[in-house]
Amino acid sequence: MSKGERSSFFSKFAASVAELSGRPATFVLAVALVLAWAISGPFFDFSETWQLVINTSTTIITFLMVFVLQNSQNRDGKALQAKLDELILTSKAQNKFVGIEKLDEKQLREMSNTLAEKAKCVEEVADVRAAELDRTSA
C-alpha cells in the first residue's frame, strides 16, 4: 500500500469513526457499557482488576480518538479555508488574505489590528451616512 493510499484509507477511516462517535446511539452504547461495568462491581468485589478494566479501556479509546478526531478536524479546517479562499478570490476582497493561516502569530495580530481599525472607520462612515439619511428623511 503506497503512502497516498494509506493516507486516503486513514482519512476515510477517521471520517467514519468521527461520524459514528458523534451519534446519539454511540453515546447511549457508551453509557450502557459503563453501567454494565458498574453493575458488575459487586460480582468482582470491586477489585483492582475490575477498576483496571474501565481505566484501561477508556484510556486506550481516548488515546486513539485523539488522533482520529484531530485528523477529522484538520480536514475540516483545510476545507473551510479553501472555501474562504475561493470566496476571497471571486469577490472584491483583497487577495492578500488568501493563505493568512500560515502567517506567524505576530503577523496575524498585526493584520487583525489593521482590520479592526478599518472596521471602526467603516462603522463611523456608516453612522454618518445614517445620520444624514435621518436628517433628509425627517
Tally Cβ neighbours within 10 Å of residue 9. 11
Are 75 and 122 contained in the same domain?
no
pLDDT by residue, tens only, the chain of 138 residues: 777 788 788 888 888 998 899 899 999 999 999 999 999 999 999 999 999 999 999 999 999 999 998 988 888 888 888 888 888 888 877 777 778 778 888 888 888 888 888 888 888 888 888 888 888 876
**Closest of 57, 61, 69 to residue 10, by C-alpha:** 69
Are 49 and 71 contained in the same domain?
yes
98 occurs within a structural domain: no
- Return d(Cα 65, Cα 105) in angstroms, integer: 28
Predicted TM-score (pTM) of the model is: 0.62
Contact indicator for 68, 74 with CB cutoff of 8 Å: no
Are 12 and 49 contained in the same domain?
yes
- Return d(Cα 122, Cα 24) in angstroms, integer: 45
**Closest of 3, 9, 13 to residue 65, by C-alpha:** 13
Are 58 and 27 contained in the same domain?
yes
Domain with 83, as residue range(s), is 3-93
31 occurs within a structural domain: yes
